[in-house]
Structure formats: structure tokens, C-alpha cells
Amino acid sequence: MMSAVALQMSCVAALLAAAALAIVLSRSRNAAGLIYGMTITISVVATAAAMNWLVRGGPEASALVLPVGLPWLGAHFRLDNLASFFLVVVNFGGAAASLYGLGYGHHETEPHRVLPFFPAFLAGMNLVILADDAFSFLLCWEFMSLASWALVLAHHREPGNAAAGYVYLVMASFGTLALLLAFGLLAGPAGDYGFAAIRAAQHAPGAVGLVLILMLLGAGSKAGLVPLHVWLPLAHPAAPSHVSALMSGVMTKVAIYGFIRVVFDLLGQPAWWMSVIVLFLGAVTAVMGILYAMMEQDLKRLLAYSTIENVGVIFVGLGLALGFQANGLRLAAALAFTAALFHVLNHSLFKSLLFFGAGAVLTSTGERDMDRLGGLIHRMPKTSFAVLVGCVAISALPPFNGFVSEWLMFQAVLQSPDLPQWALKIMVPAVGAALALAAALAAACFVKAYGVTFLGRPRSAPAETAGEVDRYSLTAMFILAALCLFAGILPGLVIDALSPVSIDIVGGRMPVQANEAWLSIVPIADSRSSYNGLLVMVFITICASSAAFFIHRFASRALRRGPAWGCGFSDPVPAAQYSGESFAQPIRRVFGTLAFHARDHVAMPPPGDTRPARLRIELHDLVWERGYRPIAEAVGFSAGWLNRLQFLTIRRYLSLVFATLVTLLLVLAIWS
Amino acid sequence: MVVISDIMVQGAQMLLVLLLAPLLTGFVRKVKARLVRREGASVFQPYRDLLRLMRKEVVLADNASWLFRVTPYVTFAAIWVAAALVPTFATGLLFNWTADLIAIVALLGSARFFLALAGMDVGTSFGGIGSSREVMIAALAEPAMLLMVFCLALVAGSTQLSTVANVLASSYVGLRVSLGMALIALIMVALAENGRIPIDNPATHLELTMVHEAMVLEYSGRHLAMIEFGAFLKLLLYISLIACVFMPWKIAVFGSGTVAAYAIGAGAYLVKLAVAGFLLALFETATAKMRVFRVPQFLGAALMLGLLGTLLLFVSRSF
Amino acid sequence: MQLHSLAFDVSHTLAGGLVLISFLMLYQDRLYSLLNVFALHAVVLALSVAWQAFIQDAPHLYVTAAIALVFKAIIIPVALHRIVQRLGIHRDIEAAVGIGPTMLAGMGLVALSMVLMLRVTPEADPLAREDLAFALSVVLLGLLVMVTRRNAVSQVVGFMSLENGLVLAATGAKGMPLVVEISVAFSILIAFIVIGIFLFRIRERFDSVDVSTLDDFRGERR
């Protein structure tokens, strides 16, 4: 019998083999079916193995050393409860994306740019999670980044994609640099890069703070924390849709895994001020991410921005867990941590589903701009039903899964009065309000996304003639939609499955939920709070159907179709409908002036003039304009200046070298 | 046997809210009319309206989708379930623990989500304008509501409405300015959520400032009846919520409850409803509707009250 | 115990109400309503001081309460009303910063003063401790009113509400002699008169009581 980690590693090897096979076959016609078929099989096996591990309640971690990498170190891999949970997320996401790719991949114009990198990307994510020393971790991290970068550039001829790839590459390198420094600090002067050694070592408080900040930079930039998020809405939508789903739904989770692994697992007992930083960043990310999404008209970019919001929510959960953990409140820490992990799972489900839906819309209409879509609910009924489920779930509405994790998060927020530190006590309610704001804005944003894309009347010819997508894509979407509902009505199962992870990482667990009556969930105690998704679902179904039945039976069932009423004024052209921009107008006016310096410019021609009136909306991405552009300009300026060094005479080069040498010697003389 | 009586009480509650909701709205309308010295329609007029609407044929826009037809029932059911979970005359009902206060608010959010989508479905400008404003108001109301819940949970140590009501009714909680602030915040949120003056005018038709009515403009017949019924229930829900949390007097405690206790609880509940309805009518008559873009300030004030209440509670609990 | 907790509850409510009314002041953008809210502020202050007088058995505090009631709740608001009327600025809507950010800043200030006060006075009497925390908030909010308004009249109001905070702190601390109270009250009154005279001078000179015109006059641009 193979050990669990060996099984996972052989899955990775199989994925890498699939990648190699894809290079050989990439020009053949059946390559897509074969490769995606292989990745489905492998991912399902890996998911099942990891899930089995979790359900068995987390046996002892299983480790493996491969004689590759640095000669005196080898490459360490290890499977524990935390890793197995994230392996479930990654591989299940991979399986769903592969299933979707089976259908979606047929529309690919240049399959040889996607097929080899897709399994490699999956393998890279698996390897990051399994890595058990800093060296392998960084190497796999970089491998994952590069594979996804290649996928971002799959359609490199489309305008903007090359720039997206460039920004992604710069940010990914920056993130890896931060991680490298973090691990350097963790390993200390002794330089033992194995995770076991790092875990056992004592870390100086200064180093702990620095590592936290470096992890926030490194893992945060990959996950999309504001203000390091700028690459994400460029790069995620640029890739083919199933890869976008993987990047948004799964790769950001790998970054979160990295953060948890280092900050919760390797650093040891946290200090309370760490949670202040994480909570603040998480809350800002959640609110800003969803505000950006609200302003967006491109469907896939909107989804990418909403990923930023969800990452913010997850970081709020992690920050709460850090705060409780620092004060030894194990139960509350377990609650917050479980909420964060639950949201990790949920987000991977509904974000993949929504990206699949966006991909389906893109396939059948060729449009990503919402203001050129509309009315797709009539032409793509199945897709639109699945996407509706995703929209309800991501808007944190009962009885779907997004609500459960959000609810657990609020329950954790309500535990904050037990914290002794005043700063945290006062901060956490404000963070809770920010969470509520983000959740409500998410609902607004997805009313907009769904309403403009799928409802109303078609705004362009492609939207009018769209058709339903293939059955593989639909199957993938419906499986995810069913899971969204399942996790929403039976959250107790998920919470219990997460308990080994929470015991490992925060040293406590939520109460066992399986014994609760009627399958409800009870985070602390019965009298404090409880929620039962199943009963809510059943009640709503019974009430709605009995109301419909009684009215149809005893009152009236007559129905007549007619033109829309619209107070007697029927808009002649579909373009007169509410567009995405007009839907966002109230929220833009309330939040936009502060967050984006938004201004509406109305050019109204004088009476008698037949020119149309024009409304132009001015939005500024302040993070980009105030943060990144000055840096880019400074880099450009100094590069231009240093350029002169290329045209010196040999004597000058020599004097430069000489001057440097003398300066260094002087420094040494003064220093010591 | 116990289970049966539990189910009976819970069923009574569900029917009670269903039967009382139109009456409450009718009462508020009647009082408003009397306050401006009009005769006003009978308090039973909403029942007649509902019955009439239900019997009428539905006129559906040509391009309305299935979502448009399902939404009235879904929103009605969500609001009904939410209303049935708020303790009215007795606490600790059978299914009270199905959803705590946060979940009840979220259920109303689900109803609103579907209504806003339905507003976008036919593709007329009125639907869009209503939906976009409704979601803006919701986005502002939700944080204020959460802070109010936080404030309550600090006092009562629970978000479970039955527990909150029992704590506030039985023990000596004391005079807390924070509870007053939470009450005002809740009232402000309730006004906004129900589309009452000064946020929105429930009696208006055809103004560019209307929100809720614009969103449901395309509905007719039994669909409209369901939506109106949902709105009645929502008003009743919020008033029950305020009554159960801030006026928990004479509410029957489940388990110890005899029939007499239930009867007293029900009587007290009716009195509370009447008082709250009267105050609402009085307030609406005395106030003017505000511009849509003043709403953020109004709800911002509610948010501020919630936060301030929480802070003050921290201070007074720190000893 | 029961009496103590009742005493505590009432003074808590009154002091908390004072903070709340300070927020109401921040929320107002019309001068008349600002003045009305200010009068309410003074009334609540007077009640709070009187309650302190009752529970501390300190009759001199009744004098303070009476001073607050007469001067701040009646004379000054009425006088300011008349000034506003005579200057013809009752329709002005003015706030240098929007209401939303101002409110957020106010919440931040309250949180700050709570954290500070509760941390530096761990062993003081709970009542005094709480009073101090609320008083500091009222002072800071008064300052906030002053910096976020352009109009000289509302700056005066901000100043007065700031002073209310000081009185609250003084009565809670059980130590301020009556002489000091009275002299503070009179200095406030004199400050009010001086400011009032200045208001008319500014108005004569610039046809406006917007203090930014003063900056213009100095040759500075905001």
C-alpha cells in the first residue's frame, strides 16, 4: 500500500507526464479530449485520496524525501490535514475545470498554447501544497506562477493581454522575492530550510513582524490583497475561461495556503497586533474589491475583482483567528479559522462556476462586455440557471453556501468582546460592518452582472442569436451549482470535515455538528446562535409552492402576454435599457467620489441642436495612479539615466570600478 | 404530544403573521388618512385588494422569463418564513433556532435579490431604476443593521431572538443609552428597508424618485398580490422585531406557557402592533420624503448610531 | 448596590447622550438647526451636572448646572439666533468636508478617546472614568465641528460645545472648586462677546462670515 503522500506525488507525476504528452500531441486533433480526460481522472483520484484523508479525521502526517534539488537537502514533501484540505480544493477545482475544458477546449484556436501548460499548472499548485521545505516551496511556487503566466499569454495577440502578462510577471517575481526573504528570515543564521526545523525554532519578535509583512506582500500579491491586486483583474480574465476559473478560484487559495502555512503553522504563537494588520488589509480589500467590481462592465474582469473581495473576506477570517489565537481563545479562533477555510471552499466552488458561465457566454456570443449582452436567459436557459445559483451563492444569501461562511464569520466577529486589547475590541465591530457592507455590495454587484447579462432584452446581434453551450460545460456548471446548494444546506458536514485542520493549526475545534438536531449548525451554544440551511430551504420551498398551488387552484391561473407596460412608455430600442453603468450609478455616487474620484460629465447640446447629449464617466484607479505609476515612472527615469553608463570609455569604466572598490573599503573601515 | 403542541403554536404563529399583516398596513393607512382629516378606506381594504388582485388575470410582458414568474412566490415565501421566525406573542417557538437575527436579515436579502433581478427582467427603464436604487439602499442599510445586532448581542450575549427577548424582558438590564441608540438605528433601517417615508413613499406612483414601486412596475394580477403581501409581511416583521427586542413585555415564555399566558402574550402583541403602527403613521405624516441621495446620510447616521452604541457599551461593560 | 447602579445608569445615559448630541451637531448643515441642537446639548449638560450634584451631594454643582442652563441653553443660542438673523445667513449650507467623512472621523475620535482614557485610568472610580472618556470625546468632537465648518457662527458653536465637554469632565472629577467654574463660565461669556463683535466686523469688511475670506485677505489660497 502506497503512503498517502506518495499517492499524491504520483498524481503530480502523472500530471507532469500529461503535460509532456501534450507537447508531443499538441497539434493533433484529439489532443484536447485526451489531455483533459487525463487531468480529470488524475484530479478525481487526488481529490478522493485527499478527502479520504480528511474524513478519516487526520491521521499522522505522512512525509516523503525525494533526492532532487539541493544535494545536501533533498526535496521534502509532506501531507498533513491542512495540505489535504487545500488539495481537495485544488484538485476538485482542477477536475471541474478539466471537465469544462473538454467542451470549451474545442473552441480554442491555438490549443498548443494551452494544453501543455494546463496540467503543468495543476501539478505546480499541488506541489506548492505538498512542499515541506522552503527551497521546494519556492521552486514549486515559481513553477506554478510561470505555468499560469504562460496560460495568461495563451491569447497573446488580443489587445491588452501582452501587457497583462507583463504586469503579472513583474508582480509574481516581486511576490516570490518577498517570500524568499521571508524564508531567509525564518531559517535564521543556521540556515535550516526544512519546515520541521523552522517550526521547532524560536523566532525573535522583530523577525516575526517582518515575516508577517513579507508574507502579506508575497502571498498577498498572489492572492490579490489591495493594494497588490493590480495584476489580478488584468491577468485572470486574459486566460481561457476554464483557466481563469482555476486562477481565481484555486490559485488564490494556494496563496492563502502559503500564508496560513507560514503565519499560523511555522511562526508559532502569534502576537495580537498581527491580527490588526491582517484585519485592516482584509477589510479594505473586501470593500475596495467589490467596489471595483461594481464599476466594471467586462464580465470576466468583474468576476476577477469579486475574487479580490472574497480574498479580503478570507483574510478577515484569518485575522480574527490570529487575534483570538494570540489571546488563547481557542474556541473562537477555531470558529474564525473554520469560517475562513469554509469560505475558501465556497469561493472555489462558486467562482469557478461563474467563470464557467462567463466562458459559456463568451463562447456563444463572443462578447465579454455586459453592455452588449442581455436576454440570454431565453437563449441559454440552462447556463443561466446555473449562473443564477452561483450569483445567489456568491452574494451570501441563504440557503446557499456563501451565506454559511459569511454567517460563521459574523459569529466570530460577535466573539470579539472577549478580547482583552482595546484596539482589537473597537476595531472588530468596524471590520464586521465593513464585511456586511461588502456582502451587500456583492449582492448589488451580482444583481447587476446577472441582470444586465442574462435578463432584459438583447443589446447586440450576437446576444440575440446565442445558443446553449455543449453538454460537458453544462455538466461542470451543474455539478458546481449542486455543490453550492449542498454545502449551503448541510454545512455541518463541511464544518466537521474541517475540524482536524483546525485542531492542527489553531489547537481547537468547533463543536461537533453532526449530533445537532435537525442538522443545524451551532457555532458556540444553542442559546447563542444557530442556523439551519436545510430547514430554511425546505420552508421556503413549501411556502412558495403551497402559495402558488393555492392561488392557481382557488384564485386564478389566467395569463396573457402583452407588450411591456413601462408606464405606457415603451423604449423603442434595447439600447435604452438600463446598462451596467447606469445600474452602478447610485453606488458610484455614494462611494465613487471617495474611492475613485468619480465624476459624471454631461454634455447637453443647446435646444435646437440635433447632436445627441453625451454622458461621460470619469473614474480613477487611485491605487494605480498614486501607487504604481510613480514607481514605474521612477524606474523608467532611473533606467534612462543609468543608460548613460553604457557609453563610457574604458578608462571611465575602470575608474568606476576603482571608485566602488575604494568606497567599499572605506565603509568596511568605518564600520568595524 | 409535546411536539404536536409545539407544531400547533408554531403554525399559529405562521398563520397569525399572515392574517395580521394586511390589517397592520390597513391600520397605518387609516391612521394616516385620519391624521390629515380624510375619511380613508376601511382597515380591511388591503384584504380586499389582495383578493381582487389574486382573482385577476396576469398580463405578462412578452419577453418576461421564468425568473419573472417565479420571483413573486420566492420573495413571498422568503419573507413569510422570516416573519414566522421572529417571536411575536411567545418566545422559544419550535423553529426559532432555525435562523438567528443575522439569518433573518439575510433571508430578507434573498427576497430583495430576486425582486431586484425581476426588475431588470423585462428591460424597461423603470425596473432598472428601481432595482439599482433598491440595492444601493440595501448596501447602506446592511452594515447599520449588523452593528445594531452587534450592540444587542453585547447586551444579551446572543443573536437568537428568543434568547434576546427573554434576556431583555427578564433580567435587570438597566438603562442603557446604547440600547436607545440601537433602537433608533433599527427604526431607521426598518424605515429604509420597508420603503417608508422619508426614504421612499409607499403610496406614490410615477415619480422618478420612487424605488420599490418602480421595481415591481411590470407586475400584475396574482403576482402583484404576492409582492404586495410580501411587503405587508415585511412591515409586520420589522415591527414585531422591534417589539420583541425593545418592548418584550408580557411575551409568553415557551414551555412555561399555559393557554392564558399565550393569550396575554397575543393581546400584548396586538397592543404593541397598534402603538407602533400609530407612531409610524404619525411620523410619516409629519415628515417629508428626502432626495434619494440624502439617503446615504440618513443610513450613515444609523450606522454611526450602531457603532456609537457599541462603543458606549464597551465603556460601561469594562468594569 | 441597586441605587449605585441606578446612579451609574442615569449618568451613563446622560453623558452618552451628550456624545450623541455632539454627533447630531456634526450632522447638521443648517445654522438654525445647529443652534437648536446646541441648546439641547447644553440642556443635557445641565441635567448631567445636576444629577452629579445629586449623587455626589455637592450643592455647588447645582450652581454650575444653573449657569449651563441659563447661559448656554438660553442666552447664547438666542443671541446667536439673532446674530444669524441680522446677518441674513440663515440659509447658508456650509461644511468644508462632507458629512460622511466627518462622521467617520468623529467615530474614530470617540474610539480614540475611549481607548486612551480607559487605558490611563485603570484604577479610578468607574463613574469618573466613564465621564472622562465621554468628556474627552465631546471635546474632540467640538474641535472637529470647528475645523470642518467654514462659517464663523458654527465655529463659535463648536467652541461652546467643546467647553461643555470640559464642564462634564470637571463635574465628573469631583474636585473643581466653584470659583473656577464660575470664572470659566464668565470667560466663555466674554469670549462669546468678543467673537460676536468680531463676527460683525468681519461681516462689515467682507460681506460674509465665511472665514476663508480671511485667508484670501491675507493673500493665501486654501
The number of beta carbons lying within 10 Å of the beta carbon of residue A480 is: 29
Angle CA(A542)–CA(A548)–CA(A549) in degrees, nearest 5? 85
- With residue B252 as reference, give the H or E element that holds it: strand B252-253
How many angstroms away from the CA of A563 is the closest CA of chain B?
5
What's the rounded mean pLDDT across residues A607-636? 88
pLDDT digits 0-9 by tens, A124-141: 999 999 999 898 999 999
What residue in C sits closest to B173 (Cα-Cα)? C9
Banded model confidence at residue B317, pLDDT cuts 50, 70, 90: low
**A228 phi and psi angles, rounded to 5 deg:** -100, 15
The grid cell for B129 is 431604476
- Please tell me whether residues A511 and A595 are part of one structural domain: no
The three-state secondary structure class of A451 is helix
Banded model confidence at residue A440, pLDDT cuts 50, 70, 90: very high
How many angstroms away from the CA of A414 is the closest CA of chain C?
18
Residue B87: exposed, middle, or buried by beta-carbon count in 10 A (0-12, 13-18, 19+)?
buried
> What is the distance between the alpha carbons of residues B145 and B131, in angstroms, rounded to a whole number?
20
What residue in B sits closest to A393 (Cα-Cα)? B110
Q: Which chains touch A (3 or more CB pairs under 8 A)?
A: B, C
pLDDT digits 0-9 by tens, A654-666: 888 889 989 998 9
Flag whether A245 is in a domain.
Answer: no
pLDDT at B207 exceeding the cut of 60: no
Mutate one of A284, A287, A422, A593 to test the C interface: name it (highest C CB count within 10 A): A422
Query: What is the pLDDT at residue B256?
Result: 60
Banded model confidence at residue B13, pLDDT cuts 50, 70, 90: confident
**Chain-chain contact of C101 with A423 (C-beta, under 8 angstroms):** no
**Chain-chain contact of A532 with B310 (C-beta, under 8 angstroms):** no
- Please tell me whether residues A364 and A378 are part of one structural domain: yes
Q: Where are the beta strands (DSSP E) in B34-130?
A: 58-61, 90-91
Q: Is any Cβ of chain C less than 8 angstroms from the Cβ of B178?
A: yes
Number of separate domains in chain A: 4
> Which of C203 and A243 is assigned the larger pLDDT?
A243
Of C174, C2, C153, whose CA–CA distance to C85 is shortest?
A: C153
pLDDT digits 0-9 by tens, A141-156: 999 999 999 999 988 8
> What is the distance between the alpha carbons of residues B30 and B35, in angstroms, rounded to a whole number?
9
pLDDT at C1 exceeding the cut of 50: no
**What 3 state SS string does A36-93 have?**
HHHHHHHHHHHHHHHHHHHHCCCCCCEEEEECCCCCCCCEEEEECHHHHHHHHHHHHH
Which ipTM was obtained for this model? 0.95
Residue A108: exposed, middle, or buried by beta-carbon count in 10 A (0-12, 13-18, 19+)?
middle
> What is the distance between the alpha carbons of residues A320 and A85, in angstroms, rounded to a whole number?
20
> What is the distance between the alpha carbons of residues C31 and C38, in angstroms, rounded to a whole number?
10
Flag whether A225 is in a domain.
Answer: no
Identity of the amino acid at A540: I
- Please tell me whether residues A465 and A503 are part of one structural domain: yes
Which residues constitute the domain of residue C9? 2-190
CA C66 from centroid of its chain's CA atoms? 16
> What is the distance between the alpha carbons of residues C213 and A354, in angstroms, rounded to a whole number?
56
DSSP state of A114: T
Flag whether C214 is in a domain.
Answer: no
Query: What is the pLDDT at residue C4?
Result: 54
> What is the distance between the alpha carbons of residues C55 and C199, in angstroms, rounded to a whole number?
41
Flag whether A46 is in a domain.
Answer: yes
Of A35, A100, A88, whose CA–CA distance to A242 is shortest?
A: A100
The three-state secondary structure class of B60 is strand
- Please tell me whether residues A395 and A437 are part of one structural domain: yes
Which residues of chain C from 76 to 105 reach within 8 Å of chain A, CB to CB? Answer: 100-101
> What is the distance between the alpha carbons of residues B25 and B282, in angstroms, rounded to a whole number?
14
User: CA torsion sign, C190 to C192 to C197 to C201?
Assistant: positive
- Please tell me whether residues A281 and A390 are part of one structural domain: yes
Query: What is the pLDDT at residue A112?
Result: 84
Cβ-based contacts of C103 with chain B (< 8 Å):
300-301, 304
* Long-range contact pairs involving C180-186 (C-beta distance under 8 Å, separation at least 24): C181/C60, C181/C63, C181/C64, C181/C67, C182/C63, C182/C67, C185/C64, C185/C67, C185/C68, C185/C71
How many angstroms away from the CA of C112 is the closest CA of chain A?
9
Which residues constitute the domain of residue A321? 269-548
**Chain-chain contact of B63 with A375 (C-beta, under 8 angstroms):** yes
How many angstroms away from the CA of B147 is the closest CA of chain A?
6
> What is the distance between the alpha carbons of residues A423 and A409, in angstroms, rounded to a whole number?
19
- H helices then E strands: how many in chain B? 11, 3
Query: What is the pLDDT at residue C208?
Result: 67
- Please tell me whether residues A604 and A634 are part of one structural domain: no
**Chain-chain contact of A571 with B124 (C-beta, under 8 angstroms):** yes
Query: What is the pLDDT at residue A517?
Result: 75
pLDDT digits 0-9 by tens, C155-171: 778 888 888 888 888 77
pLDDT digits 0-9 by tens, A84-121: 999 999 999 999 999 999 988 787 878 888 899 999 99
Cβ-count burial B131-166 (b if 16+ within 10 Å, e if not):
bbbbbbbbbbbbbbbbbbbbbbbbbbbbbbbbbbbb
Banded model confidence at residue B319, pLDDT cuts 50, 70, 90: very low
What's the rounded mean pLDDT across residues A534-559? 92
Which residues constitute the domain of residue B50? 2-317
Contacting residues for A222 by C-beta, under 8 A, at least 6 apart: A145, A172, A175, A251, A252, A254, A255, A258
Query: What is the pLDDT at residue C179?
Result: 60
How many angstroms away from the CA of A422 is the closest CA of chain C?
6
pLDDT at C53 exceeding the cut of 90: no
Contacting residues for B145 by C-beta, under 8 A, at least 6 apart: A436, B105, B186, B189, B306
**Partner-chain residue, chosen from A450, A535, A565, that has the shortest CB–CB distance to B98:** A535
Which residues of chain A from 88 to 147 reach within 8 Å of chain C, CB to CB? Answer: none
- Please tell me whether residues A321 and A442 are part of one structural domain: yes
Query: What is the pLDDT at residue A49?
Result: 92
Which residues of chain A from 570 to 609 reach within 8 Å of chain C, CB to CB? Answer: 594
What residue in C sits closest to A426 (Cα-Cα)? C111
How many angstroms away from the CA of A519 is the closest CA of chain B?
10
Mutate one of C3, C5, C12 to test the B interface: name it (highest B CB count within 10 A): C12
The strand pairing partners of C93, in sequence order, are: C30
Does this model's pTM top 0.80? My answer is: yes
**A574 phi and psi angles, rounded to 5 deg:** -60, -25
Contacting residues for C83 by C-beta, under 8 A, at least 6 apart: C153, C196, C199, C200
Q: Which of A30-34, A71-75, A619-623, C204-208 has the lowest mean pLDDT?
A: C204-208
> Which of C104 and A447 is assigned the larger pLDDT?
A447
Cβ-count burial A285-317 (b if 16+ within 10 Å, e if not):
bbbbbbbbbbbbbbbbbbbbbbbbbbbbbbbbb
pLDDT at A217 exceeding the cut of 70: yes
Q: Is any Cβ of chain A less than 8 angstroms from the Cβ of C122?
A: no
pLDDT at A389 exceeding the cut of 90: yes
Of A381, A384, A393, whose CA–CA distance to A357 is shortest?
A: A384
Banded model confidence at residue B310, pLDDT cuts 50, 70, 90: confident
Number of separate domains in chain B: 1
Mutate one of C115, C118, C120 to test the A interface: name it (highest A CB count within 10 A): C115
Banded model confidence at residue B54, pLDDT cuts 50, 70, 90: very high
pLDDT at C182 exceeding the cut of 70: no
> What is the distance between the alpha carbons of residues A96 and A85, in angstroms, rounded to a whole number?
17
pLDDT digits 0-9 by tens, B151-162: 988 888 888 888
Which residues of chain C from 11 to 70 reach within 8 Å of chain B, CB to CB? Answer: 12-13, 16-17, 19-20, 23, 27
> What is the distance between the alpha carbons of residues B308 and A192, in angstroms, rounded to a whole number?
50
Identity of the amino acid at B239: I
What is the percent of chain A where pLDDT is above 90? 60
> What is the distance between the alpha carbons of residues B130 and B115, in angstroms, rounded to a whole number?
10
Cβ-based contacts of B226 with chain A (< 8 Å):
547, 551
What residue in C sits closest to A427 (Cα-Cα)? C111
Whole-Å CA distances, C143 to A563, A672, B268, C161: 60, 53, 47, 9
What's the rounded mean pLDDT across residues C50-70? 83
- Please tell me whether residues A639 and A530 are part of one structural domain: no
Q: Where are the beta strands (DSSP E) in A553-618?
A: 559-562, 599-603, 614-618
pLDDT at C222 exceeding the cut of 60: no
> What is the distance between the alpha carbons of residues A82 and A265, in angstroms, rounded to a whole number?
10
How many angstroms away from the CA of A373 is the closest CA of chain B?
12
| CB of A178 closer than 8 Å to CB of A214 | yes
Residue A184: exposed, middle, or buried by beta-carbon count in 10 A (0-12, 13-18, 19+)?
middle
**Chain-chain contact of A556 with B142 (C-beta, under 8 angstroms):** no
pLDDT at B173 exceeding the cut of 70: no
Residue ranges in chain C assigned as alpha helix (H): 2-27, 31-56, 60-67, 76-87, 99-120, 126-148, 152-172, 178-206, 212-217
**Partner-chain residue, chosen from C9, C103, C134, that has the shortest CB–CB distance to B300:** C103
Radius of gyration of chain B (CA): 20
> Which of A433 and C163 is assigned the larger pLDDT?
A433
The grid cell for A418 is 472577549
Which residues of chain A from 385 to 414 reach within 8 Å of chain B, CB to CB? Answer: 388, 392, 395-398, 403, 407, 410-411, 413-414
Query: What is the pLDDT at residue B261?
Result: 82
What is the percent of chain A where pLDDT is above 70? 98
- Please tell me whether residues A480 and A331 are part of one structural domain: yes
Identity of the amino acid at A320: L
**Chain-chain contact of B304 with C106 (C-beta, under 8 angstroms):** yes
Banded model confidence at residue C2, pLDDT cuts 50, 70, 90: very low
What's the rounded mean pLDDT across residues C176-197? 67
> Which of A529 and A44 is assigned the larger pLDDT?
A44
Query: What is the pLDDT at residue A655?
Result: 86
Number of separate domains in chain C: 1
Q: Is any Cβ of chain B less than 8 angstroms from the Cβ of C126?
A: yes
- Please tell me whether residues A530 and A590 are part of one structural domain: no
- Please tell me whether residues A116 and A11 are part of one structural domain: yes
What's the rounded mean pLDDT across residues A594-618? 86
What's the rounded mean pLDDT across residues B6-29? 89
| CB of C176 closer than 8 Å to CB of C185 | no
Mutate one of A426, A427, A590 to test the C interface: name it (highest C CB count within 10 A): A426
Query: What is the pLDDT at residue C3?
Result: 46
pLDDT digits 0-9 by tens, B228-280: 999 999 999 999 999 988 888 877 776 665 778 888 888 999 999 999 999 99
> What is the distance between the alpha carbons of residues C28 and B35, in angstroms, rounded to a whole number?
29
Cβ-based contacts of B179 with chain C (< 8 Å):
none
Contacts B–C by Cβ distance under 8 A = 59
Flag whether A254 is in a domain.
Answer: no
Query: What is the pLDDT at residue C136?
Result: 87
Of A2, A3, A43, whose CA–CA distance to A476 is shortest?
A: A43
**Partner-chain residue, chosen from A423, A430, A594, that has the shortest CB–CB distance to C115:** A423
The three-state secondary structure class of C30 is strand
Of A500, A526, A548, the residue at which a domain comes to its end is A548
The grid cell for A276 is 490588526
Which residues of chain A from 494 to 533 reach within 8 Å of chain B, CB to CB? Answer: 518, 520, 526-532
